Structure 1
Amino acid sequence: MTKKSKIKVGEVNTYIVTWLKDYSAKSKTNGFVIGISGGVDSAVTSTLCAQTGLTTLCVEMPIHQDITQVSRAREHIEQLKKRFPNVQHAEADLTAVFETFKSKVPGSNDNTRLDLALANTRARLRMTTLYYFAGIEGLLVAGTGNKVEDFGVGFYTKYGDGGVDLSPIADLMKSDVYALGEYLEIPQSIQNAAPTDGLFGDSRTDEEQIGASYDELEWAMLETENNKKSEDFSGRDKEVFGIYKKLNTINQHKMNPIPVCLIPKKLK
């Protein structure tokens, strides 16, 4: 299935850019910092931020990164710098930091858990780096998560790429992000690339990790909002719906506020 976005791209673009400018003004900050991965979400987010006219710092943070991701990220940044004079670029190669971290913590006999823990560590090192730049430059960390990732299947790292100051595209489905990407003329290489989180140092795609494409997950998210149940489907639809529901359930801890143990007044 191929999902076609129905958003009014020009109006949505203007709305988000205005929202970003207003938020920065109210927070008395100088602009935005964004981690650039070579994917469509970070490309669209950084282009939206660039349109505000405020400082937009694009940061590359490779950690044993696949060369295709690096080349796409650099192509986008160079294009953006040519289009917008307020765009700046920084690179923080975190490979050595990551390797030092690995050398200072114990390993594990459970390779699956170890690989996931290290993948999430990469995301958290990048979050720390973005907040470093935000701190010294007076910027806001702009999140790059879309609605399916952030509120559907929770496909992000808690306190990693989920640790941000504001989320410009988190109310947009992946198909909407692609529509904006086309409208904003981000590099074709990014528009055509298979989505990947880039956390494992290879070219594995999001679809390979999740077991379903973003078009399929978007469909399942909309069907869930329409109160559909697993028994309403069969075949591949039933399988995808099950994948979505499972991930949505186990990742609620990412989407909900941190639980607080409220002490009864009689105990205070």
Structure 2
Amino acid sequence: MEAGKVSKKIDEWIKDKVALAEAKGVVFGLSGGLDSATIALLCKNAFSDNTLALIMPCGSRKEDTEEAVSFAKKFDINYRLIELDESYNKLVGEFKKTQLKESLDHNRKRLALANIKPRLRMTTLYYFANLFDYLVVGTSNKSEWMIGYFTKYGDGGADIVPLGNLLKTEVRELAVYLGVSQEIIDKPPSAGLWEEQTDEEEIGITYNELDACLSGQKSIEKVDLMIKRSEHKRALPDMPDFK
């Protein structure tokens, strides 16, 4: 992959999509991780004056928030810091009032609660998108997208997904070209859904193994199953073809 050419193509693609929508700029979530840092610089290149990064901690590590703020300042990216902990806690408190009596699986309950966070962030992104007539830019890459490793109507809720045809390993190459620090590139990928959560541990394989499968270099049954099960997450809501 020639990172320079890819960067230029994505910059032009972002501009074209914004122009097609007759919008004025772009807004995205900045977490301090590899993908969002890469998106931040691509958006900044495409729209130097009309790019907005939202840093939205919600049960997040203090270090991640600080790194996101530091990154935005370093590259002179317009940003807003919006704390979502209070909103999250209020919503969870309301849910607990339902007093469900069913015996719920711990992991399923933990995931249901964790998915509230990216959905709150999506709501926040679209508020600012509506406010400024911007498009919401998603930060998912092809590796995550293909196996459904994103929250439906959460971080999967976006107008455009510039990294959607780049594997995680390719995003790393692009990040190096754009000037993302090695510290961010080497940081263990995490959606920050709960304490000490990492992407690779949750997925069950490394990104290198996953990318090898998606590029046809090897086959792992688990990956094929994840692609099949998550098909609904990559499509518009299904509806019957009869009346």
Partner residue, 1:263: 242
1:49 aligned to which of 43, 46, 68? 43
Q: Once the 2 structures are TM-superposed, how far is the Cα of residue 196 of structure 1 from its aligned partner?
A: 0.4
1:216 aligned to which of 209, 214, 225? 209
Partner residue, 1:78: 73
Q: Once the 2 structures are TM-superposed, how far is the Cα of residue 134 of structure 1 from its aligned partner?
A: 0.5
Percent of aligned pairs with the same amino acid: 35
- The answer as to 2:108 corresponding to 1:113 is yes
- Distance of 2:187 and 2:113 partners within structure 1: 24
Q: Is the 8 A contact 1:194 1:205 kept in 2?
A: yes
- The answer as to 2:69 corresponding to 1:95 is no
- The answer as to 2:152 corresponding to 1:158 is yes
Partner residue, 2:197: 204
TM-score (norm 1): 0.84
What amino acid sits opposite 2:198 in the alignment? Answer: T
Partner residue, 1:183: 177
Give the ranges of 4+ consecutive aligned residues of structure 1 lying more than 6 Å apart after TM superposition. Answer: none
- Distance of 1:68 and 1:187 partners within structure 2: 16
Larger Rg: 1
2:163 aligned to which of 160, 169, 178? 169
- The answer as to 2:63 corresponding to 1:68 is yes
Q: Is the 8 A contact 1:148 1:221 kept in 2?
A: yes
- Distance of 2:132 and 2:181 partners within structure 1: 28
What amino acid sits opposite 2:70 in the alignment? Answer: E
- The residue correspondences of 1:227-238 to structure 2 (distance < 5 A) are none
What amino acid sits opposite 1:105 in the alignment? Answer: F
SS class of match (1:29): coil
What amino acid sits opposite 1:210 in the alignment? Answer: I
What amino acid sits opposite 2:192 in the alignment? Answer: G
Partner residue, 1:243: 222
SS class of match (1:105): helix
Q: Once the 2 structures are TM-superposed, how far is the Cα of residue 247 of structure 1 from its aligned partner?
A: 1.4
Q: Once the 2 structures are TM-superposed, how far is the Cα of residue 246 of structure 1 from its aligned partner?
A: 2.3
Q: Is the 8 A contact 1:75 1:187 kept in 2?
A: no
Unaligned runs of at least 5 residues, structure 1 = 1-6, 82-86, 231-240
- Distance of 1:164 and 1:101 partners within structure 2: 23
SS class of match (1:51): helix
Task: Write the deviation string for residues 246-267 of structure 1: whole angstroms up to 9, x where unpaired.
Answer: 2112212112332111224xxx
Unaligned runs of at least 5 residues, structure 2 = none
- Distance of 1:163 and 1:128 partners within structure 2: 9
TM-score (norm 2): 0.93
Deviates more, 1:36-45 or 1:186-195: 186-195
Q: Is the 8 A contact 1:156 1:162 kept in 2?
A: yes
1:35 aligned to which of 29, 35, 48? 29
Task: Write the deviation string for residues 127-185 of structure 1: whole angstroms up to 9, x where unpaired.
Answer: 0000001111111100111011112x110000000000001110111111000100011
1:21 aligned to which of 15, 24, 31? 15
